[in-house]
Amino acid sequence: MLQSMQIEGGYPLVGEINISGAKNLALPAMVTTLLTEDEIILNNVPDLSDVHSLLGLLEYLGCDINIDKVNSKLILKTTNIKYTEAPYDFVRKMRATILVLGPMVARFGAASVSFPGGCAIGVRAIDLHIKALQLLGAEVTMDNGFINVCAPNGLKGCEITFPIITVTGTENSIMAAVLAKGTTKLINAALEPEVEALCNLLNSMGAKITGQGTSIINIEGVEKLHGTTFDIIPDRIEAGTYAIASAITHGKLFLKNCIYKHLALFFNTLKLNGISIEEKQNGVMVENNNDKINPINIRTAPYPGFATDLQAQYMALMAISGGTSLITETLFENRFMHVSELNRMGANITIKGNTATVKGVNKLSGAQVMATDLRASASLILAGLFANGTTTVNRLYHIDRGYESIDKKLQQCGAHIKRISI
């Protein structure tokens, strides 16, 4: 049965929201089980449909899985592997399954993944993942819709220069290089906190990685990796989304566990918007006491720039600002699909090329809207929290890919929001 989210707008959110573990670290962290026969124990894993999709693939490949739901703990053990091929049915649900290529070829000498193809937010090529694996000495072929990577004699350290920054491309290369012979140097590597944390996890398994968190990462290959226990860092995109929920409803929310520095530029932007942001010992307080929100232009960029994963949500806030703002999306060519839905609610947004011109309006009105991808869904929920009347966000399955219990977390702070089945 399809689910929708029904929101009665106009209630300020007040209270505390606990930020869950980061989806975009949990996924690569789970895949590290393919690099060792020992147990990998992950704490603070969010309960998301993307996590379950990847667990489905890992189980198919031959991984033993134990889930301790109460403690958000995952115990993974891949003593051996049954298949080295990720079939289409798993890959089509989630592009991040491409992350199994690097570790599988590193440990087992072979890996095939069904070609992920396009996705809602853009074409999202994987040429840089393939190029990196080839530089590491793997042979890559494509047939029947599969990418086949093979390195029967193991991978060899090398120098890889990324022409553009790619998050999962960097992660795949690192997970391939940790078991390669010799040293690998990644140049123009992704700086995202999730990439840095993945390197820390791999080092706790016995890998020798230095430079994580900078654009040059060195990986000295080791023979074998061992088991570990690791805590997933808080989800900065979830935290940013709830910060906007506080701002857009003129509320006051404490984002428990949110790491301020992971959102430094975003929080500085909100401060310029007139929102009060206060870093506390165990999180961040976000409060909006102003009648009007200042319009500020933003341009998405890889970390530490303005995250593309917060662009749609920020647009909902700018839709009700006291002026005109320009929002430029530089990473994905099709990440403005929320615009037509926000306009249905009364927003005044036009698009030219990769820039949206957002003219702030005084009110939005509830409507039936369609979620097109994960972050677009969040944007529509935020708009619904502000709008007069009832907003129904359809195609809710997108939101459950990346936000743990979003309805419950918002309800606890005073939102009038509920899931309905249609």
What residues make contact with ligand EPU under the rule CB under 6 A?
A: 23-24, 27, 95-96, 122, 124-129, 164, 166-169, 308-309, 331-332, 374-375, 402
Shortest distance (Å) from residue 1 CB to ligand EPU: 25
- When the beta carbons of 23 and 107 are compared against ligand EPU, the nearer one is 23
Shortest distance (Å) from residue 16 CB to ligand EPU: 24
Question: Is residue 302 within 8 Å of residue 338, measured between CB atoms?
Answer: no
- When the beta carbons of 125 and 187 are compared against ligand EPU, the nearer one is 125
Burial 176-207 (b: 16+ CB within 10 A, else e): bbbbbeeebbbebbbbbbbbbbbbebbbbbbb
- When the beta carbons of 125 and 420 are compared against ligand EPU, the nearer one is 125
Shortest distance (Å) from residue 142 CB to ligand EPU: 14
d(CA 367, CA 7): 10
119 as an active site residue: the answer is yes
d(CA 258, CA 281): 10
- Tokens at 343, concatenated: 């306009």
Q: Is 42 helix (H, G, I), strand (E, B) or coil?
A: strand
- Sheet of 73-77: strand order equals 64-68, 73-77, 39-43, 228-231
- When the beta carbons of 129 and 250 are compared against ligand EPU, the nearer one is 129
Task: Tell me which amino acid residue 141 is.
Answer: T
Spell out the residues 6+ positions from residue 325 whose beta carbon is closer than 8 angstroms to its own.
295, 296, 297, 298, 318, 357, 358, 360
Shortest distance (Å) from residue 124 CB to ligand EPU: 4
Measured torsion, CA atoms of residues 116, 160, 262, 93, in degrees rounded to the nearest 10: 10
Shortest distance (Å) from residue 292 CB to ligand EPU: 30
Spell out the residues 6+ positions from residue 177 whose beta carbon is closer than 8 angstroms to its own.
102, 106, 136, 155, 157, 184, 186, 219, 221
Number of CB atoms found within 10 A of residue 393's CB: 27
Question: Is residue 9 within 8 Å of residue 248, measured between CB atoms?
Answer: no
Question: Is residue 60 within 8 Å of residue 103, measured between CB atoms?
Answer: no
Of 43, 40, 34, the residue nearest 62 (C-alpha): 34
Q: What are phi and psi of 20, to 5 degrees?
A: -80, 175
- When the beta carbons of 160 and 417 are compared against ligand EPU, the nearer one is 160
Q: Is the omega angle on the peptide bond into residue 302 within 30 degrees of 0, that is, cis?
A: no
- When the beta carbons of 57 and 320 are compared against ligand EPU, the nearer one is 57
Shortest distance (Å) from residue 305 CB to ligand EPU: 10
- When the beta carbons of 128 and 385 are compared against ligand EPU, the nearer one is 128
Q: Which of 119, 199, 258, 413 is catalytic?
A: 119
Strands (E), 271-340: 276-280, 283-287, 298-299, 324-328
Q: Is 111 helix (H, G, I), strand (E, B) or coil?
A: strand
Shortest distance (Å) from residue 128 CB to ligand EPU: 3
Shortest distance (Å) from residue 44 CB to ligand EPU: 17
- When the beta carbons of 188 and 343 are compared against ligand EPU, the nearer one is 188
Active site amino acids: 119
